[in-house]
Amino acid sequence: MSLITDSQTLADFCARLHSAPYITVDTEFLRDTTYWPKLCLVQLGGPVDPDAAADPVAAIDALADGLNLQPLFDLLRDRNVLKVFHSGRQDMEIFYNLMDGDLPQPIFDTQVAAMVCGFGEQVGYDTLAKKLVGAHIDKSSRFADWSKRPLTDKQLHYALSDVTHLRQIYEALKAQLERTGRAGWLDEEMAILTDPNTYCTDPETAWQRLKTRSSDRKYLAVLRAVAAWREREAQRRNVPRNRVIRDEQIQDIAAHAPRDQASLARTRGLGADFARGRLGEGILGAVESALGQPKEAWPKPPQKPEIPPGLGPLIELLKVLLKTKCEQHGVAQKLVATSQDLEQIAADDAADVTALRGWRREVFGEDALRLKHGRLALAAKGRGVMLIEI
């Protein structure tokens, strides 16, 4: 099994793959004690070449002393080589951070492709390997400590299997997409995965990930300021957010808006020593900054679109239609429409939702509007549901 630990071998291996039409990519990393993911291993695979002396598959030891990863980054930037991932969002985030905001392009995510090809929502790699390749993945190394050296043969075998079987999975899904004319159905999802904004962690928007306990604008202003302070502190120290302060403590601080050490010390789990220290000073500074802003600058509570009364039964009918159409077309419901999409369609024919655009409109959106306006009906037939033209 090939493990690359020196820069010259890595450069030579990547040079070979620049001529490949695609490569398969996977990573092993740790994030238990850090804010930024710690890359431990990168696995690459090129198409099988029966005339080659060796299979173009290798694991790159990202923790090897003196290893220069630049040839890898150059390969990932090569737009003539398709990069194939399975559920690649976390892998892409790692490369975004290591490549100074650049991302591997172009890409193909087999999990998304499997959703288009009728394998269900968020299908696992091991499931696809079994169904499409007939391979059984040994999961016993999945939660190994990938930072410890030396790596065992069992770990390397597991890691490399994530890119060797991925080649056949990709080729099978690609063939099915071309056969059914659905290759373009992936474009929107791939655009999201290759958009730098997907991975940009702006401290000023960190509060939006928290569950808000109030719609009061003063509460939201303090919540925003303290969440932004925590985000910057976690990034600076490279520790998980909750190692700085926990979500519920931020919510408590937002509710009481402490202005001095004694008030801050009453926050559950903090105490007087914390309040007197550097972190306590930072929190009080964030609270002061929030309360010192003009009230017009305080955030407004998130607005949920109002659904007119009486639409509940129609929304339930749309859910049945969505499930029926997705089963007919062999595509995951999650990829076509969300519950919020259905609510908005029920309320507005011109709702700005993806379900009413492009291929989703052809699969579901047009019939959703016809059902809404009484031009289509649903009826039980045996164990299924049939659509009736009216």
Question: CA 330, CA 303: separation in Å to the nearest integer?
Answer: 34
User: Of 239, 245, 283, 243, whose CA–CA distance to 261 is shortest?
Assistant: 283
pLDDT tens readout for residues 343-370: 999 999 999 999 999 999 999 999 999 9
Cis omega (within 30 of 0) for bond into 71: no
The string of DSSP letters for 23-42 reads: EEEEEEEE-SS-SS-EEEEE
Give the SS3 label for residue 84: strand
The Cα-based distances of 97 to 4, 71, 104 in angstroms read 22, 16, 12
Question: Which residues lie closer than 8 Å to 390 by C-beta, 6 or more apart?
Answer: 374, 375, 376, 377
Judged against a pLDDT cut of 80, whether residue 297 lies above it is answered with yes
Question: CA 73, CA 68: separation in Å to the nearest integer?
Answer: 10
**Residue 186: band (very low, low, confident or very high) from pLDDT cuts 50, 70, 90:** very high
Lowest average pLDDT, out of 21-35, 148-162, 300-314, goes to: 300-314
**Residue 15: band (very low, low, confident or very high) from pLDDT cuts 50, 70, 90:** very high
Strand intervals (E) in 150-296: none
Average pLDDT for 278-291: 98
Amino acid at 100: D
**Stronger pLDDT, 90 or 49, i.e. the higher one:** 90
**Residue 201: band (very low, low, confident or very high) from pLDDT cuts 50, 70, 90:** confident
Question: CA 193, CA 107: separation in Å to the nearest integer?
Answer: 8
DSSP H or E segment with residue 329: helix 312-329
pLDDT of residue 143: 84
**Residue 1: band (very low, low, confident or very high) from pLDDT cuts 50, 70, 90:** low
pLDDT tens readout for residues 64-93: 999 999 999 999 999 999 999 999 999 999
Question: CA 349, CA 3: separation in Å to the nearest integer?
Answer: 56
Judged against a pLDDT cut of 70, whether residue 339 lies above it is answered with yes
Query: Nearest 5°: CA angle at 121, between 116 and 122?
Result: 105
pLDDT over 70, % of the chain: 99
The Cα-based distances of 148 to 103, 110, 242 in angstroms read 27, 29, 25
Tell me how long the chain is: 390
Report the 10 Å Cβ neighbour count for 345: 26
Judged against a pLDDT cut of 70, whether residue 16 lies above it is answered with yes
- According to DSSP, the β-strands at 384-389 and 376-381 are antiparallel
pLDDT of residue 54: 80
pLDDT of residue 138: 84
Partnered with residue 109 across adjacent β-strands are 85
The Cα-based distances of 325 to 215, 317, 335, 378 in angstroms read 38, 12, 12, 11
pLDDT tens readout for residues 114-127: 999 999 888 999 99
Judged against a pLDDT cut of 90, whether residue 267 lies above it is answered with yes
User: Of 322, 321, 344, whose CA–CA distance to 334 is shortest?
Assistant: 322
Instruction: Report the mean per-residue pLDDT for the chain.
Output: 95
- According to DSSP, the β-strands at 38-45 and 57-61 are antiparallel
pLDDT of residue 305: 67
**Measured in whole angstroms, how far is the alpha carbon of residue 337 from the centre of its chain?**
18
pLDDT tens readout for residues 229-256: 999 999 999 999 999 999 999 999 999 9
Question: CA 63, CA 146: separation in Å to the nearest integer?
Answer: 10
**Residue 310: band (very low, low, confident or very high) from pLDDT cuts 50, 70, 90:** confident
> Are the C-beta atoms of residues 135 and 172 closer than 8 Å to each other?
no
Question: CA 365, CA 349: separation in Å to the nearest integer?
Answer: 10
